[in-house]
């Protein structure tokens, strides 16, 4: 077992002392990097990039060559599970992911098979194993999945949505059908994430990208409860090391107190929630991650530095010395200048020593 050269991300997740604030970026391997665009062109398209082990490993490592990041995240997509269920994932230029088949009836749900991760998603498992080996202990590797609610919205709508018309119609008209679908997905995601852990993922993040579209009671019933089910079914320890779990609900800052019951080790925040407020709510029971607005990286070096410092001031306002990971409040966008991302990362490391040094 390779010893980690940089374990501050894991230490912060477990609320242990750190020398400086760890930082990584959601979607850190992406279109804003010219080397990523070059590799994607070689692969032919996005799905081919995801499904080629060597290419997936290469783009995972690319941001680590540019930046002083404290974690790597598996390069994949949140929709691998519904794709493995036979829905026919494809990407329209400029329109995002779409499915050839939708799930809207009792018969549709009954027809969903059980995923065999070892065969249906072997390319993800192989990528995790290959990336972990290539990292050689440089930083921890994050595995991930979409939440059942988020996956269900794509499966029911046939792609991304602003209104969630068909999903919410099912929720309010035939909730038992939606529960059946979510339960099926929770089982599949649990198997999928456990396979990633067995292959070498050292941290797990569940992306609940569309949880914030739900009303208060419905969020608890149709999103959080299924994430709790997943967390309870995950492998807790591998090679003598705890496997921390991060829950990230975009638009979910109002549910932090309810999320504490999930038994996750950390909660991700988008940019609409104050870190000072979040620290007060969680009372040191979990770590927090976030939450710079990704659009901040369009700014000048001075405005980026200022925003990062204010974020860190909020994170440490209560006198805490750990339990915080800097990140963006959602994924970095394709229009960001890579040099601006470096300012964010370096400012986190430099300025946080004011509180941790």
Q: List, for residues 133-149, the tens digit of each pLDDT value.
A: 999 999 999 999 999 99
Q: Domain map of the chain by residue range?
A: 24-288
- Residues annotated catalytic, as ranges: 27, 31, 40, 77, 154
Strand locations in 209-321 (E): 237-238, 241-242, 245-249, 266-268, 287-292
Length of the chain: 357
The token duo for 302 is 């001075």
**Residue 15 annotated as binding?**
no
pTM: 0.97
CATH architecture of 24-288: Alpha-Beta Barrel (3.20)
In Å, how far are 148, 154, 228 from 167, measured between CA atoms? 12, 9, 21
Q: To the nearest whole number, what is the mean pLDDT of the chain?
A: 96
Q: What is the SS3 assignment for 240?
A: coil
pLDDT digits (tens, 9 = 90+) for 259-294: 999 999 999 999 999 999 999 999 999 999 999 999
Q: Helix 53-66 to helix 122-135 angle, to the nearest 10 degrees?
A: 40
pLDDT digits (tens, 9 = 90+) for 148-188: 999 999 999 999 999 999 999 999 999 999 999 999 999 99
**Residue 217 annotated as binding?**
no
pLDDT digits (tens, 9 = 90+) for 86-118: 999 998 777 789 999 999 999 999 999 999 999
**Residue 314 annotated as binding?**
no
Backbone φ, ψ for residue 159 (5° rounding): 165, -165
**Residue 31 annotated as binding?**
yes
pLDDT band at 1 (very low <50, low <70, confident <90, very high): low
């Amino acid at each position: 077992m390779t010893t980690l050269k940089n374990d501050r991300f894991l230490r912060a997740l477990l609320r242990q002392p750190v020398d400086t604030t760890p930082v990584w970026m959601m979607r850190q391997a992406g279109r804003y990097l010219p080397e990523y665009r070059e590799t994607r062109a070689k692969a032919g398209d996005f799905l081919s990039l995801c499904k080629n082990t060597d290419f997936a490993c290469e783009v995972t490592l690319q941001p680590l060559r540019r930046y002083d990041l404290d974690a790597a995240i598996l390069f994949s997509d949140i929709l691998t599970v519904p794709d493995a269920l036979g829905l026919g994932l494809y990407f329209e230029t400029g329109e995002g992911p779409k499915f050839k088949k939708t799930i809207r009836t009792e018969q549709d749900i009954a027809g969903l098979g059980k995923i065999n991760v070892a065969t249906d998603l072997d390319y993800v498992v192989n990528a995790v194993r290959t990336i972990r080996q290539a990292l050689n202990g440089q930083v921890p590797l994050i595995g991930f999945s979409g939440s059942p609610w988020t996956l269900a919205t794509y499966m029911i709508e046939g792609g991304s949505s602003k209104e969630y018309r068909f999903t919410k119609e099912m929720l309010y008209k035939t909730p038992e059908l939606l529960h059946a679908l979510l339960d099926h997905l929770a089982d599949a995601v649990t198997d999928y994430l456990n396979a990633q852990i067995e292959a070498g993922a050292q941290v797990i993040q569940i992306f609940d990208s569309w949880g914030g579209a739900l009303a208060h009671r419905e969020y608890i019933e149709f999103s959080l409860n299924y994430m709790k089910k997943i967390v309870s079914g995950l492998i807790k320890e591998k090679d003598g090391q705890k496997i921390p779990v991060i829950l990230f609900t975009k638009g979910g800052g109002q549910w932090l107190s309810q999320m504490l019951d999930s038994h996750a080790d950390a909660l991700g925040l988008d940019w609409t929630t104050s870190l000072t407020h979040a620290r007060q709510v969680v009372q040191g029971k979990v770590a927090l991650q976030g939450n710079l607005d990704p659009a901040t990286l369009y700014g000048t070096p001075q405005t980026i530095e200022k925003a990062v410092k204010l974020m860190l001031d909020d994170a440490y306002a209560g006198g805490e010395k750990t339990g915080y990971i800097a990140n963006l409040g959602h994924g970095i966008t394709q229009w960001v200048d890579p040099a601006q991302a470096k300012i964010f990362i370096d400012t986190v490391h430099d300025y946080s020593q004011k509180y941790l040094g």
